[in-house]
Chains A and B, each alone.
Chain A
Amino acid sequence: MNRALIFVAKHSIALALSAMFLAPVLFLALTSLMTSNQTFTSDLWPHSWHPENYAEVFSKTPLLKYLGNTAMYAGLATGAMLLSSVPAAYALAKLRWRGRNLMMTLIICMMMLPPQVTTVPVYMLWANGHLTGTLWPLILPMLLGDAFSIFLLRQFLVTIPDEYLDAARIDGCGEWRTLLKVVLPMARPGIAAAAMFQFFYAWNDYYGPLLYTNENADNWTISLALASFRTLHHVEWHLVSAATLITMVPVIVLFFFAQKAFVQGVTLTGVKG
């Protein structure tokens, strides 16, 4: 009886929240099926249905090519971030050395520099290297660590009990082998979360590609392509909505399948149970 009551309560709350959280996607979906003239009016339900808007999106922009660029940017940036940030986070969480707290503080400092001022000196750097017009200024820095990811990874890694590492070290593993053989499998949730955030960030990034690739349409990402449905005095919201949904579908699918990897990782390896 009591259990049934809790079940009902839990699910009614969850359903109510779902309705709330579903609203933006529903709004996009409805808008994407309207005529241009109905968008942004007080009638949120389409007067007539226009699935052909989706075809128009593909005929007006080389969307597949932009999807490819976006996937390349997001994939390479995520890979590069992992290569550089996981070892750094490990050293910050599990190795003892002088200056560790200082470096941790500097990592947080790095996130605190307002992007409005860092972009200018960094842009000059890439312009002098003649790499503007490409996505490399957004990918290459990831090889040098990403502050947010290092911080996130470090916070997850500190929760791994030291004795597992010590056991590996006693078995004669060096620090790198300890990281690869012991820590990586155990830290799967945190690593998956960091990778996912990095991937989604790059996928939706607008200002980065705008700053570096706007003059070269060959290297545009989808977020930039959305801006091409804009004219001097008007935005074609039905097309923007359709394109946004097309953009979101891959990440929603990815999230749906990837979430298991990081929320179940710990319990599966049985480390802590």
Chain B
Amino acid sequence: MRRTRILAGLAALLAVTAACTPAPEPKPIATPGVEPSGEIELWHFFTDREAKAIDGIIADFQAKYPKVKVTVKGGQDDSKVVQAIGAGTGPDVAISYSTDIVGKFCATGGWVDLTPYVQRDGVDLKVMPEVVRSYTEFRGKRCAMPFLADAYGFYFNKKMLADAGIANPPKTLDELTEAAKKLTVRKPDGTIERAGFLPLFGFYENSPSHLGPMVGAQWLKPDGTSAIGGDPQWQALLKWQKDLVDWYGYDKLEKFRASLGDEWSADNAFQKGQIAMAVDGEWRLAFLKDQAPNVEYGVSPLPTADASRYGSGYISGNVIGVSRTAKNPEAAWALVKYLTLDQGAQVKLSNGIRNVPTLTSALTAPDLQVDDNFKVFLSIFAHAQSGTTPPSAVGPAYQETFGTFVDAWQSGQKKDLPAGLSEVDKQINDVIKLAG
């Protein structure tokens, strides 16, 4: 008897908690021309020098909108933002470092659909490249805006290429294989001393998502289900990769890889000349300048399977959105609009944080600080064939499910590629179905 009463009490407690979780309630938006005012809170994940760059841009915003007061809180990570929004204590505006969260925020309404604001203010989203628009919306809802971007390209050691008699960086996968073999140096006992290109997935930035644009492979179909098994490009990429792995010998590669330094330390294998070519993001430029100023390197777009795709690469970026729990959505939208659609703000942010601006017009702005290497990344960013990883309700699950298979594939545990990929399809579709 007493036990049932305790259970009843617990159920009541639970019901109260569930009921207190705020349900989505659409807030009516103001008529055009209303000046935003009031207090808003912005959460971001930057710290230190990068956080100072944010503070600077917020000061500009305040000067432009004196009636809005912005409180900035740095160092907040994504899971924290999720919990706070769920509990009703979230910020007005939040910046996330990962596009993986867009699907979740759009599908659940954790971040509000900005379409009404976009339409009311007559914003033309075509001022941003299509690929950027694609990773900031999900199922027709524009719940996020891009907050600077990263572009991935191809780094090569100029001196090593010249010594091996290679005049230009490889443009095709075949050329990459050839150059990788030529640039590889082995010790007398057959172990690797220097790898021309280290093809293992999971090594540094060698993820399927970053290499996918080499062949133009697709992740998800328009209906949200897995496109991996049905896309022959993935098979082409994996076969190419496995051939190169086998040329080195999988065990020798793993042994070599285990001895290499941390990606983000000064022992980075490319910076130390242990690998001659690598896929990496635009931020590597700053690391090279700081940690390895003597390395003679060049950057180019990714080598591709067919020439028509050359010039492209992988693109991703930070995202910004307005929380459902925003107390002042009008001022929040004003801030988001300023940070993502104002060319001056974009250029200033890009100069401060050294990421790629997301407005097409800002790419060529005269006050954007660029050198020749950075320009390569700007061109990759603007290229029509550049690819990204699409938002999904299950975050990065589809990429990681594929990653598990790729691990088994490159080590030789799984040998039947089509069967393995259709298994991957099934697993991804199962998990997406569960998420609803």
Contact = CB atoms under 8 A, between A and B. Distances in A.
B61 interface: no
Contacts of A39: 265
Given A132-B87, A214-B76, A37 B50 contact: no
Interface stretch (A18-26, A73-81, A184-192, A222-230): A222-230
Given A40-B261, A215-B43, A217-B73, A120 B83 contact: yes
A114 to B, nearest CB: 16
Contact of B17 (A125, A211, A228): A125
A42 interface: yes
Interface string B192-214: 00000000000000000000000
Nearest to B290: A37
A235 B80 contact: no
Contacts, number: 83
B83 A211 contact: yes
Given A121-B17, A215-B73, A233 B47 contact: no
Contacts of B86: 124
Given A39-B265, A41-B266, A124-B17, A231 B83 contact: no
B34 to A, nearest CB: 29
Given A41-B261, A128-B20, A232-B46, A214 B267 contact: no
A37 B291 contact: yes
A228 B75 contact: yes
Contacts of B273: none
B80 A230 contact: no
Contacts of B49: 231
Interface residues of B, number: 37
A210 interface: yes
A147 B88 CA distance: 30
B266 A214 contact: no
B20 A40 contact: no
Contacts of A84: none
Given A132-B89, A230-B47, A231-B47, A123 B83 contact: yes
A215 B44 CA distance: 10
Contact of A41 (B46, B75, B267, B290): B267
A170 B261 CA distance: 70
A215 B79 CA distance: 12
A25 to B, nearest CB: 21
B290 A42 contact: no
B353 interface: yes
A231 B50 CA distance: 7
A77 B155 CA distance: 52
Contacts of A40: 261-262, 264-267
A128 B83 CA distance: 13
B20 A232 contact: no
B59 interface: no
Contacts of B290: 37
B267 A229 contact: no
A123 B86 CA distance: 10
Nearest to B73: A215
A127 interface: yes
Nearest to B17: A124
A3 interface: no
A42 B84 contact: no
B87 A124 contact: yes
Contacts of A235: 264
Contact of B267 (A42, A121, A228, A233): A42
Contacts of B73: 215, 217
B50 A232 contact: yes
B80 A215 contact: yes
A7 B91 CA distance: 64
Interface residues of A, number: 30
B21 interface: yes
Nearest to B87: A127
Interface string A200-214: 000000000011001
A224 to B, nearest CB: 8
A233 B303 CA distance: 25
Given A37-B291, A230-B47, A231-B49, A211 B80 contact: yes
A10 interface: no
B333 interface: no
Interface string A33-59: 000011111100000000000000000
Interface string B229-264: 000000000000000000000000000000001101
Contacts of A232: 45-46, 50, 97, 283, 353
A272 interface: no
Contacts of B25: none
Contacts of A231: 46-50
A132 B85 CA distance: 12
Interface string A218-256: 000000000111111111000000000000000000000
A44 B83 CA distance: 40
A41 B269 CA distance: 11
B287 to A, nearest CB: 8
A204 to B, nearest CB: 19
B55 to A, nearest CB: 14
Contacts of B45: 232
Contacts of B50: 231-232
Interface in B302-356: 353
Contact of A128 (B17, B43, B47): B17
B266 A228 contact: no
A60 B47 CA distance: 11
B84 A37 contact: no
Contacts of A234: 264, 287
Nearest to B21: A124
A211 B80 CA distance: 7
* Closest 5 pairs between A and B when the two form their complex, measured CB to CB: A127-B87, A40-B265, A41-B267, A37-B266, A40-B262
Given A37-B291, A121-B14, 7 more contacts: A38-B266, A124-B17, A124-B20, A124-B87, A215-B43, A232-B46, A235-B264
22 contacts: A39-B265, A40-B265, A40-B266, A40-B267, A41-B265, A41-B266, A120-B83, A123-B83, A124-B20, A132-B87, A132-B89, A215-B73, A215-B76, A215-B80, A229-B48, A231-B46, A231-B48, A232-B46, A232-B97, A232-B283, A233-B281, A235-B264
